[in-house]
Amino acid sequence: MGWVETAGGYAVTLDGTRVLCRNTAGRTLKQVPAKLRDDAEVVRLRQLAEWLERHGRECRSQVDTWLVRSLPVPARLLTQVWPDAAWQGALRDLVVAPVGADGCADTGRAGFLRDADPERGLGIVDLDGDSVRLDAEQVLIPHPVLLDDLDDLREFAAELGVEQGLDQLFREVWPRPDSADGTALEWGAYADAAFEELRHATARAVSYGYRVRGGYAVCALTEDGRALEAAYWLGDDYPESETRTGALEWRTVGGRRVPLGEVGPVAWSEGVRMAALVHAGRVLKNEYDESEEGGTGEL
């Protein structure tokens, strides 16, 4: 946007979500002068910047929901929101795959989303490096655990200079190990993690966007049309009390625990991702029983 004149010969503008100010000599200042902070134009731009930041978060959250819940997205919807910079920032360079009439995604025709035009459809760079258009009415933004040759895709993305606004290709994935007992109702790999205070564990879960309900960190999921939730026990004592995490489980909307063998690859990966993120903040005890914050955050 252009510069807006304000009091004292100053002018202000918005650069992304940052308010800039220049003086009467035309020099851009490091910050908005204190005497202008309550100026009507400055206040208006700050409110706009706050709205843009909130809108950007909402766009990324919606696209993340499409990815995590394996929800087909109408191509027409993408063409409608594409002109919005926030939507485009969340969608650009994501791998998309056309969905056929049978409801299945054709990952063999997947590519990096580069354009969405109402007349010409979705433009992608396919996995051969060619620019092509998709004529499908719906597309899937595949979870990386569903993508074949994920390492090759990551390497190809680096060669293209792809910078995704949403973690897709470089999202942590956890395939279900062969050692998992398909009849078991819980996965204990992240159980018994110690936290000095329960609120530390719950705050860590919330900081990554998960809800905490009834003592569990909860991640809502949908796979193959079935709604599930992954639930990781944190504890239900006082917020200041010590706690140890429990096992990870998957449940239907009605509360039935799902055997591990019935948990799909996306639901498994996202459930374990949630548990791993919380678990990484645990307190470790060394051989001298001295506490130190656990983990480096690397998963």
Find out whether 198 and 238 touch, Cβ atoms under 8 Å: yes
Query: Long-range contacts made by residues 259-262, C-beta under 8 angstroms, separation at least 24?
Result: 259/182, 259/183, 259/184, 259/185, 260/176, 260/180, 260/181, 260/182, 260/183, 260/184, 260/185, 260/186, 260/187, 261/180, 261/181, 261/182, 261/183, 262/182
Q: Report the C-alpha gap between 7 and 127 in whole angstroms.
A: 54
* 200/242 same-domain check: yes
Q: What is the pLDDT of residue 30?
A: 87
Q: Report the C-alpha gap between 6 and 273 in whole angstroms.
A: 49
Q: For the beta carbon of residue 111, count every other beta carbon within 10 angstroms.
A: 22
Last residue of a domain, one of 117, 144, 160: 160
* 54/16 same-domain check: yes
- Of all residues in the chain, the percent with pLDDT exceeding 70 is 95
Residue ranges making up the domain that contains 136: 70-160
Q: Report the C-alpha gap between 31 and 20 in whole angstroms.
A: 7
Last residue of a domain, one of 108, 142, 160: 160
Instruction: With respect to residue 177, please indicate whether it lies within any of the assigned structural domains.
Output: no
Instruction: With respect to residue 258, please indicate whether it lies within any of the assigned structural domains.
Output: yes
The answer on pLDDT for 288 being more than 50 is: no
Instruction: With respect to residue 75, please indicate whether it lies within any of the assigned structural domains.
Output: yes
* 279/223 same-domain check: yes
Q: What is the pLDDT of residue 286?
A: 56
* 204/281 same-domain check: yes
Instruction: With respect to residue 186, please indicate whether it lies within any of the assigned structural domains.
Output: no
* 239/264 same-domain check: yes
* 242/209 same-domain check: yes
* 211/253 same-domain check: yes
* 289/225 same-domain check: yes
Instruction: With respect to residue 236, please indicate whether it lies within any of the assigned structural domains.
Output: yes
Q: pLDDT per residue over 60-109, tens digit each?
A: 999 999 998 888 899 999 999 999 999 999 999 999 999 988 888 888 88
Which residues make Cβ contacts (< 8 Å) with residue 237, sequence separation at least 6?
198, 243
* 125/155 same-domain check: yes
Instruction: With respect to residue 173, please indicate whether it lies within any of the assigned structural domains.
Output: no
18: three-class secondary structure by DSSP? strand
Instruction: With respect to residue 183, please indicate whether it lies within any of the assigned structural domains.
Output: no
Exposed (0-12), middle (13-18) or buried (19+): which is 205, by Cβ within 10 Å? buried
Instruction: With respect to residue 178, please indicate whether it lies within any of the assigned structural domains.
Output: no
133: three-class secondary structure by DSSP? strand
Structural domain tally of the chain? Answer: 3
Supply the pTM of this predicted model.
0.76
- For 137-200, give the secondary structure using H, E and C: CEEECCCHHHCCCHHHHHHHHHHHCCCCCCCCCCCCCCCCCCCCCCCCCCECCCCCCEECCHHH
Q: pLDDT per residue over 14-36, tens digit each?
A: 888 889 899 888 888 888 888 88
